[in-house]
Amino acid sequence: MGFFRVLKMPALTELALKAIKPVSDGTTISDGGNLIGKVRVRATGLVVVSFVYRYKRGGKLRDLSCGTWPAVSLKSIRLARDAARGLLARDIDPVEQKRVEKMENRAAVAARIAAAEQKLARLTVRQLFERWAALELATRKDGGEETSRGFRKDVLDAIGDRYADEIKRADLMMVLDRVKARGRLRLANRMLAELRQMFSFALMREMVSTNPASMIQKKHAGGAEVERDRVLTEDQIKALPAALNSAHLPDSTQHAVWVVLATSVRIGELIKAQLADIDLDKAEWRIPASNAKNDDAHLIFLSSFALFHMRALVGSTPSKRWLLPSREDPDQHIDTRSITAQIRDRQLRFYDRAAHRKRTRKESALVLGDEKWTPHDLRRTAATLMQSLGVLPAVIEATLNHREQNRMARIYQRYDYAKEKAKAWHLIGERLEVLSNRDINIGESFAME
C-alpha cells in the first residue's frame, strides 16, 4: 500500500492500523467524520496514531484529542468523537468542556488530598493523651504514672481510638459511670479532673473546638467527697500486732505499718525511701524534696520504736538502693499502691467485690472495728496520738511536713521545730511500744516542756 502525506482510507479498522509501517512517521490519516490521526513512531519502533476531532468554532478550527491508538482502542476513540459531536449539537465547545472537566478533576483531587491531610492531622483520644502525657504529665513528680495507669484502664480502652474532636459529653459520662459503678467514687472525680485538663490542653492548641468535660461536675461523676476522719483507737492499735501476724503479710509490710505510725509519713514516702537517705547510727531519715508530696525535704528523727522497725527493713532488703525493692525488678521500689492493696485485700467486708483469685484468703484479718482503715489513716492516727500526748498543733503540723498555708508566715517564720519534732516522735514511740506490747529499749525519754 502506497502512502502519501495524507492517507485516505475508506474506513479505518484495527487491522488497517496495525498494517501501518514505521516509514509512515509524520503522516496523517482520516477516519471520516472529521476524525484525523497523526502517525508517530516511538523510539522503540512502536507505531502509534494520535487522533483528534477537528471542528470549527467561532470561525476557527479546533482540535480535540480523542486518544492515541493502540493504547486506546479505535472504538473508544470514535466514541470520544461522537461525544464531542453531541456537545456541539448542544452548543457546547468540546475543548472548553474538556478544560472545565480537567479543572474540576484537579479540584476534586485537591479536595481529597486536603481531606486526607486533615484526617491525618486529627488526633485520636489515644494520640491526644500521648501528646498531653509527654508535655504535661511527664513534669509531675511521679511522671504521670498514676494518671496514665487510670487512663489506660478506663479511658483509652473505651474511647482511645476515636477522634478527640468527635468526643461528646455523653462519651465521657459513659467512662465515668463505669468507674462509679465499681464504687470508685474518688477515682471518678479525679478522672473527671484529668479529662478536663487533657481536653483543655487540646483546646488551647486548637486540636479540638470544645472541651466536652467542661460542663461535667463532681456531682455527675463521683459526687461530693466525704472527708475521711478514720483514726485507730488505742484499743485498735493494741489489736493491730495480732491482726498483722495473722494476715499473712510480708514482714516488710508489717514493719512498714509501724514505721508510718511512728513517724507520721505518707506511705508513698516510705515506699520510695532509699538506703542512702537513712542513717541508722544517727537515727535519722531524710525524705528528699523529690519524694515529698509538697516538694519540701523532711528530716525525721527516729525514735527507738521507729528505729527498731527501720533496722528490720534495712536488714532484710536485698537491694543496695531501695528500702522496699520490687520482687520483679530489684532495681525499682515496690509499686506505690502495693501496701495499700495488701491492707485493703484483708478488709474486703468494706469493699463491694470478692477476693482476687491470686490474692490472700485472709480477707478479714485486718478488720479493726466497724470501718475500714488505710495507710493514710495511720498518718492521721499518728497525728491524733501526738495531740493526745500534749504535742502542740504547730509541732504536729511540722512532723506531718505540712506547708504553712499563710504565705507571710511561710516567708518570715523560718523556725524548723527540729527539737520539738524529735520530742514528739519519741513520745509517740514510747506510746506505741506500750500499745503494741513490744519490749524495746527506748533509751532517753523526751518530756515535753
Residue 31 has pLDDT above 70, yes or no: yes
Residue 2 has pLDDT above 50, yes or no: no
- The CATH code of domain 234-436 reads 1.10.443.10
Average pLDDT over the chain reads: 88
| Residue 440 DSSP label | -
Residue 88 has pLDDT above 50, yes or no: yes
Average pLDDT over residues 67-82: 94
Average pLDDT over residues 308-319: 95
C-alpha span between 238 and 395 (Å, rounded): 25
Domain ranges of the chain: 6-114, 125-220, 234-436
Residue 118 backbone class (left: φ over 0; alpha: ψ -120 to 50; beta: rest)? alpha
Cβ atoms of 47 and 58 within 8 Å: the answer is: no
At residue 195 the predicted structure's pLDDT band, cuts being 50, 70 and 90, is very high
- CATH class assigned to 6-114: alpha beta
Average pLDDT over residues 313-324: 94
Across the strands, what pairs with 63? 54
Beta-carbon contacts of 428 under 8 Å, excluding residues fewer than 6 positions away, are 261, 262, 264, 303, 382, 385, 386, 389
Q: Is 244 exposed, middle or buried (0-12, 13-18, 19+ CB in 10 A)?
A: buried
CA-CA distances (angstroms) from residue 289 to 131, 136, 283, 299, 416? 27, 20, 20, 10, 15
Given this model, what pLDDT does residue 439 score? 60
Given this model, what pLDDT does residue 5 score? 47
Cβ atoms of 378 and 260 within 8 Å: the answer is: yes
Nearest CA to 51 out of 25, 29, 20 is that of: 29
- Using one digit for the tens of pLDDT, what is the confidence trace for 289-298? 988 888 889 9
Given this model, what pLDDT does residue 444 score? 39
Query: CATH classification of 125-220, choosing from 1.10.150.130, 3.40.50.720, 1.20.1600.10, 1.20.910.10?
Result: 1.10.150.130
C-alpha span between 381 and 399 (Å, rounded): 13
Residue bearing the bigger pLDDT, 285 or 98: 285
pTM greater than 0.85 (yes/no): no
Given this model, what pLDDT does residue 112 score? 78
At residue 358 the predicted structure's pLDDT band, cuts being 50, 70 and 90, is low
Give kind and range of the element (H or E) at residue 6: strand 6-8
